[in-house]
Structure 1
Amino acid sequence: MYKYATCIFSIFALWNFWGVSAKKQDTSTGTNELPKAPMPYYTIENIDMHQQHWFTYNSLRQNGTLWRIGNMEQRLEMRLQSFQNQMETKLRALKQQIEPYMENVKMSNKIKMSVFKKIGSRHFYLEKQKKMPWDSAYDTCRQMGGHLANILDEKELNEIFSEETKKKYWVDINSRANDGASWISTLSGRDVPFLKWKPNLATNIHNHCVYINSNEMYFENCANDNYFACQAEQWA
């Protein structure tokens, strides 16, 4: 009998202890309900939300990539157009430089070599009968297939005009661009390689064409009449 009483008392004590513990737990959480189980992370709503975020991110990223590609294409087109314009400009300039030489080559096929005499390493013709202005002398030399003479150095000057001491001969030297301009060759378009002025020659900036007399150079009005010297070569 005593044993049964002890057992019942122990069960009753455990029951009270469990009740008190449960009450304290409910009081600490502010509710008498048991805590709910956590919601699973990968629900249909979460998956749909992540898909929307992913699609938005991909769309923004794709738009940014397309913008960068378009910007690169625009810059490449601008550079290509600039390069094309530069090439066209250079080609036009090259064509302008080549055209006179091509014309000279064509003219060289029409040279009347029988009237030219080899002096030194080149061929020249001295007009000793008829005087004419500088421009007419230029045209006459071209009609012969040659060109007004360019004098390369003093040796050549002395060889060409060794027997001519009294006559004046137009040569391919002028400053017709403007008063005070440099002396150029119409054949090369550049400054002449050689000049030998008469000592103490009076300055007159309005006389733009050059003639040779007694192996010395003078400038004179281009409209005056003089004899002239032609050369057969089209490139010197």
Structure 2
Amino acid sequence: MFKYFLYIIVGWDLIKTLSAQTELKRLNQLGENQQKWFEYDAQKETETQGIIEAAKKSLEDQVKAIHDKLETKLTAIYSFLEHSQFADVDYTRSKYTHPDLFQTIGIRRFYLEMGYRQNWHDALSACRRMGGNLATIKNEAEMLALLSKAKRRHEFWVDINNMGDGVYRTTFDGKPAPYLRWGKGYKPGSQDCVSLNEDTKRMHNSQCTRTHFFICQEEPGV
């Protein structure tokens, strides 16, 4: 009887040992699977990062190619505009003025462009896009008031030219300019368009293709 009881105890211990070994094997297998999963995730993450980097590099290359192409086109356009005539210049006046651009000088409102130089035709177009016009000077007091706002030795286009019949007129109504005060050595009729010179405080006439700063007036005409 004792012998059978001993067999039972030994058998039970054997069963527990086998069960423990089975559990240990299962845990080892689970650990191996987890390691494979981690390795798989790391590999996938590396592959995904590689795809992202490749896509980023491709987009950067495309953006650079587009930028280079646009820069080439803009250079060609600027070159064309610099050498073109003025038949196609848009002189359309905007229906709306931009009051924040204009300041009161004397009894009228003006805008002095002192950042970009333009030829006379483009200056006229820029003023009209603001809803105004190139400035027509009414008298000496107004001319001096405008030039007092300018920086030294600047030259400004105004709305006076003799491109028609040789008479210096305004573009707004075609009437003769209400005020002219020529600088020393400048002869009326020798050139086409008129500018104000801050240094001499007088008017100069020169080719309309030259580039100067310019003055706009808020209202269309004097």
Q: What one-letter code is carried by the residue in structure 2 that aligns with 1:191?
A: P
Within the alignment, does 1:131 sit opposite 2:117 as a pair? yes
Deviation at 1:205, TM superposition (A): 3.8
Distance 1:122 1:163, change over 3 A: closer
Within the alignment, does 1:176 sit opposite 2:160 as a pair? no
Within the alignment, does 1:188 sit opposite 2:173 as a pair? yes
**One of 197, 202, 212 as aligned partner of 1:226:** 212
Q: What do residues 113-149 of structure 1 show as CA deviations (whole Å, max 9, x unaligned)? A: 1000011111000000100100000000000111000
Distance 1:183 1:154, change over 3 A: same
Q: Is the 8 A contact 1:206 1:221 kept in 2?
A: no
Residue in 2 that maps onto 1:149? 135
Within the alignment, does 1:166 sit opposite 2:148 as a pair? no
Aligned-residue CA RMSD in angstroms? 2.0
Distance 1:163 1:122, change over 3 A: closer
Distance, in Å, in 1 between the alignment partners of 2:147 and 2:101 is 17
SS in 2 for 1:182: coil
Where does structure 1 differ by over 6 angstroms across 4 or more consecutive aligned residues? none
Deviation at 1:188, TM superposition (A): 2.0
TM-score (norm 2): 0.54
Structure 2 residues not aligned, in runs of 5+ = 1-90
Structure 1 residues not aligned, in runs of 5+ = 1-102
Q: What one-letter code is carried by the residue in structure 1 that aligns with 2:191?
A: N
Q: What do residues 68-100 of structure 1 show as CA deviations (whole Å, max 9, x unaligned)? A: xxxxxxxxxxxxxxxxxxxxxxxxxxxxxxxxx
Q: In percent, how many aligned pairs have the same letter? A: 31
Distance, in Å, in 2 between the alignment partners of 1:152 and 1:228 is 16
Which structure has the greater CA radius of gyration? Answer: 1
Distance, in Å, in 1 between the alignment partners of 2:136 and 2:205 is 15
Distance, in Å, in 1 between the alignment partners of 2:122 and 2:107 is 27
Residue in 2 that maps onto 1:15? none
